[in-house]
A = this chain, B = another copy of it.
Amino acid sequence: MSLITVGTMAFDAIETPFGKVNKIVGGSALYAAYAASYFVKPVQQISIIGYDFPDEELESLQQRGVQLEGVEKVADKKSFFWKGLYHQDMNTRDTLITDLNVLEDFDPRVPDNYQGAAFLMLGNLMPKLQISVIEQLKQKPRLIVLDTMNFWMETAMPDLEAVLKKVDLLMVNDSEARELTQQYSLIKAAKKIREMGPKYLIIKKGENGALLFHGDKVFFAPAFPLEEVFDPTGAGDTFAGGFIGYLAKSGDISFENMKKAIIAGSAMASFCVEKFGNTRLKELAKEELNDRIQLFRELTSFETGLDL
């Protein structure tokens, strides 16, 4: 089933304890599209780029079945640019530069041939723009997944509350879940968020895995224990793209299938962080992904029947 991914396509400058790169493509929708395209075609991209965005990157996406009719190219502005510095623990980072550039003018348009998409991934963006995409769709998708961040909680809370009422699944990290609800306990935060709209909730905990909540059910997926996280940039967006891509492939949005989708997304994200930017995602083979999913299973499975 077809999938629309909305978000940024950008340039990043990244410095980690292991190295630095001055200009590499990035952005939430770029990572999500690369990850989702492993599972489903077409991936219908909605984003905005400047005159400087590399053609070969667009071709690489198209070769993977990513449609770009919804990607606006601005002739006289540069692409969105972000520069970040990761600390030793790799879980915290400082944003050094945010040049919005084309993002200042972003008014996402849903092309006619995207209508009827069964899945919608709304990457982190101004909530007003996320609402605009939902409202342009003539037919409600089977599953709308929303990503957001603390910045919008602090600057656009009424809009964020409005979009929360229109989506099926919210994906946030643990500190965002706490900020959104003013609850320290993630279980209490999860209850409160689902009262705000989304029936499903995924709380991402970085190197400590992710939790899926629905009704009274909880599923926990560990992060893969990597010897070294080389560059965490895009891991969350890759997880999101892998998750919704996996669901869109099967069209099955049962809780059981969402568990598998989380494992697929986690495995994909564990590759993303092994090299700078999207380097690893571009070279990833299906066999590698399959092997890692098997390792995920071995990581947490234990024999039934404890002798108490």
Interface residues of A (CB under 8 A from B): 38-39, 88-90, 184-188, 205, 208-209, 211, 218-222, 225-229, 246, 249-250, 256, 259-260, 263-264, 286, 289-290, 293, 297, 299-304, 306-308
Contacts of A221 in B (CB 8 A): 300
Q: Is the CB of B185 within 8 A of A228?
A: yes
Question: Which A-B residue pairs are the 8 nearest by beta carbons?
Answer: A208-B208, A259-B302, A300-B300, A187-B227, A220-B222, A220-B299, A260-B306, A220-B300
User: Beyond A225-B186, A308-B39, A308-B286, is A256–B220 a contact (Cβ under 8 Å)?
Assistant: no
Q: Is the CB of B225 within 8 A of A260?
A: no
Bound complex: CA A308 to CA B284 (Å)? 13
The distance from the CB of A267 to the nearest CB of chain B, in whole angstroms, is 9
Copies in the complex: 2
Q: Is the CB of B308 within 8 A of A264?
A: yes
Q: Is the CB of B306 within 8 A of A88?
A: no
Bound complex: CA A246 to CA B256 (Å)? 31
Q: List 9 A-B contacts (CB under 8 A).
A: A89-B184, A185-B226, A185-B229, A187-B227, A188-B227, A211-B225, A249-B307, A256-B302, A264-B306
Bound complex: CA A208 to CA B218 (Å)? 15
Please tell me which one of the listed residues B185, B286, B299 contacts residue A218 in the complex, with CB atoms under 8 A apart.
Answer: B299
The distance from the CB of A63 to the nearest CB of chain B, in whole angstroms, is 19
Bound complex: CA A208 to CA B221 (Å)? 11
User: Beyond A290-B308, A293-B306, is A184–B299 a contact (Cβ under 8 Å)?
Assistant: no
Q: Is the CB of B184 within 8 A of A88?
A: yes
The distance from the CB of A35 to the nearest CB of chain B, in whole angstroms, is 12
Contacts of A229 in B (CB 8 A): 185
